[in-house]
């Protein structure tokens, strides 16, 4: 689909967006600027995961309250919900590489501030709350700038591959960071984990400074002016191939990705397996997510049909896990849940980016991130209440059911917008469900 001028008014003929590109798993690493970006991100992502685990442990140590840990998480995501769209306007208006240099430096300073407070023995819970909120404020600009900067580094042909590799990068750090944090907390204390996190942001800063601006793909920047926020919302509202994937990701991010709540509850209340097994469950999910990201990097096309099917499978797997009678079956299902969950995220991310005019990409991606991550302060307390009131199985199944139903409804909407109907039949002795043009269905009748 065209991403040039006038693309915002182009009709959607099929619920499919195809991006022909390179299918090689690591093709984007052939681009020098992206290779620098990827290398810096490995270091900072590992530090970020170390800080996440250490921050939760510190709050729990200071307060003895799991609710306080939830407040910290909510404060970190709240700015994205409140101000996320404004971050997109900034990302579209200014050079993204320079914005990222500023935002990555600010994230590093937040980490160093928490390290100094903790190592000096002066840290209090309100300090952690404040720094969590400041991190969220920086992320308001950092997220859309980082998401949309990928296309400037690799161009449209490698965009899907680069988005997939970014997710693989993040999930690899998820495997390493918490383990290192656990060793540091037990051996030398929380402050050193925060210090390493703060210093880790030197890696992306050096990478950004070493990039060759002349090798970046030129993108038109939005001029300063009034109404740019409303312009971005109107742009998305007039594009079914943008608005419905974003809505679907919003439902799944808000209701289907509350794994800290569910894994904790299943470990302690359902299977009574303790902290060691809880860490094992997180590792299994991270491994599945990493596998999903690497598999997505091999695919050379992005289809909205794949997004809808993956979302439905994701919801069904969550329901199956919620009903698992044995710990080993529950643990086994977390691997495909992590894999399919990443497939949903990567497919939606790359489809939305590829369908968006470059001059609007920062605003559109800020809306995407606001809907996906900004729903956490809403979904986490709600699903936490359901889990506390009706049990872990009901809470997990509720998240899966919402994901499954939202995929079914939005799939039908996209089919209707694209002039398609659902056709059911048999293929080699197996039931098959397809979207076919209405004209073909009428001819067959």
CA neighbor of 406 nearest in space, from 248, 243, 254? 248
For 222, which DSSP code?
P
Q: What are phi and psi of 421, to 5 degrees?
A: -130, 160
The answer to whether residues 207 and 37 touch, using CB atoms and an 8 Å cutoff, is yes
Q: How many of the other CB atoms lie within 10 Å of CB of 175?
A: 16
pLDDT tens, position by position, 343-353: 898 888 888 88
CA neighbor of 363 nearest in space, from 191, 192, 246? 246
Q: Lowest mean pLDDT: which of 106-110, 189-193, 255-259, 355-359?
A: 355-359
Mean pLDDT of the chain: 81
For 80, which DSSP code?
H
Q: Residue 222 contacts by C-beta under 8 Å, 6 or more apart in sequence? A: 89, 92, 93, 228, 359, 360, 362, 363
Q: Tell me the average pLDDT across 287-302.
A: 77
Buried b (16+ CB within 10 A) or exposed e, 392-411: bbebbbbbbbbbbebbeebb
Task: State yes or no: pLDDT of 437 exceeds 70.
Answer: no
What integer pLDDT is reported at residue 13 of this predicted model?
Answer: 39
More confident residue, 400 or 18: 400
| CA atoms of 257 and 281, how far apart (whole Å) | 15
Q: Is 126 helix (H, G, I), strand (E, B) or coil?
A: helix
Q: How many of the other CB atoms lie within 10 Å of CB of 106?
A: 18
Selection from 18-32, 141-155, 221-235 with the highest mean pLDDT: 141-155
Q: Is the pTM of this model over 0.75?
A: no
What integer pLDDT is reported at residue 14 of this predicted model?
Answer: 41
Q: Lowest mean pLDDT: which of 221-235, 378-392, 395-409, 413-427?
A: 413-427
pLDDT tens, position by position, 295-329: 877 776 667 788 899 999 999 999 999 999 999 99
What integer pLDDT is reported at residue 436 of this predicted model?
Answer: 55
Q: How many of the other CB atoms lie within 10 Å of CB of 268?
A: 15
Q: Residue 345 contacts by C-beta under 8 Å, 6 or more apart in sequence? A: 167, 249, 372
Task: State yes or no: pLDDT of 442 exceeds 90.
Answer: no
pLDDT tens, position by position, 132-181: 999 999 999 998 888 889 888 998 888 888 888 888 888 788 778 877 87
Q: Is 432 helix (H, G, I), strand (E, B) or coil?
A: strand
Q: Tell me the average pLDDT across 258-262.
A: 80
The answer to whether residues 381 and 70 touch, using CB atoms and an 8 Å cutoff, is yes
| Percentage above 90 pLDDT, the chain | 33
Q: Lowest mean pLDDT: which of 86-90, 276-280, 400-404?
A: 276-280
State how far the alpha carbon of 377 is from the alpha carbons of 56, 91, 102, in Å: 16, 24, 26
Q: Is 278 helix (H, G, I), strand (E, B) or coil?
A: helix
Helix or strand run (H / E) with residue 394: helix 392-417
| CA atoms of 256 and 397, how far apart (whole Å) | 9
pLDDT category of residue 229 using cuts at 50, 70 and 90: confident
Q: Is 435 helix (H, G, I), strand (E, B) or coil?
A: strand
What integer pLDDT is reported at residue 9 of this predicted model?
Answer: 32
Burial of 110 (0-12, 13-18, 19+ CB in 10 A): buried
State how far the alpha carbon of 293 is from the alpha carbons of 10, 25, 121, 222, 333, in Å: 30, 10, 40, 32, 17
CA 273 distance to own-chain centroid: 29
CA 43 distance to own-chain centroid: 19
Q: Is 227 left (phi over 0), alpha (psi -120 to 50) or beta?
A: left
What integer pLDDT is reported at residue 16 of this predicted model?
Answer: 43
pLDDT category of residue 18 using cuts at 50, 70 and 90: very low
What integer pLDDT is reported at residue 148 of this predicted model?
Answer: 84
CA neighbor of 140 nearest in space, from 356, 365, 347, 354? 365
CA neighbor of 348 nearest in space, from 310, 379, 307? 307
| Percentage above 70 pLDDT, the chain | 83
Q: Is 105 helix (H, G, I), strand (E, B) or coil?
A: helix
pLDDT tens, position by position, 114-136: 999 999 999 999 999 999 999 99
pLDDT category of residue 22 using cuts at 50, 70 and 90: very low
Would you mind telling me the total number of residues written for the chain in this entry? 445
């Amino acid at each position: 689909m065209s991403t040039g001028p006038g693309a915002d008014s182009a009709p959607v003929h099929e619920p499919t967006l195809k991006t022909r590109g390179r299918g090689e798993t690591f093709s984007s690493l052939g681009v020098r600027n992206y290779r620098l970006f990827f290398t810096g991100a490995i270091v900072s992502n590992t530090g970020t995961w170390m800080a996440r685990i250490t921050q939760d442990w510190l709050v729990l140590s200071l307060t003895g309250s799991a609710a306080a840990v939830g407040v910290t998480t909510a404060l970190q995501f709240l700015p994205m919900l409140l101000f996320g769209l404004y971050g997109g306007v900034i990302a579209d208006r200014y050079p993204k590489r320079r914005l990222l240099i500023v935002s990555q430096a600010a994230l590093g300073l937040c980490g160093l501030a928490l390290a100094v407070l903790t190592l000096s023995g002066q840290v209090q819970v309100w300090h952690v709350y404040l720094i969590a909120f400041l991190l969220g404020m920086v992320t308001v600009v950092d997220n859309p700038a980082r998401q949309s900067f990928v296309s400037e580094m690799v161009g449209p042909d490698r965009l899907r591959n680069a988005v997939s590799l970014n997710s693989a990068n993040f999930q690899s750090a998820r495997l390493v960071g918490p383990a290192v944090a656990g060793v540091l907390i037990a051996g030398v204390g929380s402050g050193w984990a925060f210090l390493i996190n703060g210093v880790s942001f030197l890696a992306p800063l050096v990478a950004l400074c070493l990039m060759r601006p002349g090798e970046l793909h030129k993108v038109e920047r939005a001029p300063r002016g009034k109404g740019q926020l409303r312009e971005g919302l109107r742009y998305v509202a007039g594009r079914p191939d943008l608005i419905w994937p974003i809505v679907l990701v919003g439902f799944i991010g808000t209701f289907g990705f509350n794994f800290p709540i569910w894994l904790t509850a299943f470990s302690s209340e359902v299977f009574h397996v303790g902290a060691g097994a809880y860490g094992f469950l997180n590792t299994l999910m991270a491994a599945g997510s990493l596998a999903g990201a690497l598999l997505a990097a091999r695919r050379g096309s992005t289809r909205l049909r794949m997004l809808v099917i993956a979302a439905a499978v994701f919801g069904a797997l969550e329901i199956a896990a919620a009903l698992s009678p044995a710990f080993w079956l529950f643990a086994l299902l977390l691997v495909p849940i992590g894999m399919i969950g990443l497939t949903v995220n990567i497919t939606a991310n790359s489809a939305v980016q590829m369908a968006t005019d470059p001059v609007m990409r920062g605003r559109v991606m800020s809306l995407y991130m606001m809907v996906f991550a900004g729903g956490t302060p809403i979904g986490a307390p709600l699903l936490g209440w359901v889990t506390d009131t009706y049990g872990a199985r009901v809470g997990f199944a509720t998240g899966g059911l919402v994901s499954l139903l939202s995929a079914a409804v939005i799939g039908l909407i996209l089919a209707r917008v694209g002039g398609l109907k659902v056709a059911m039949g048999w293929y080699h002795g197996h039931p098959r469900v397809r979207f076919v043009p209405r004209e073909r269905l009428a001819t067959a009748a």
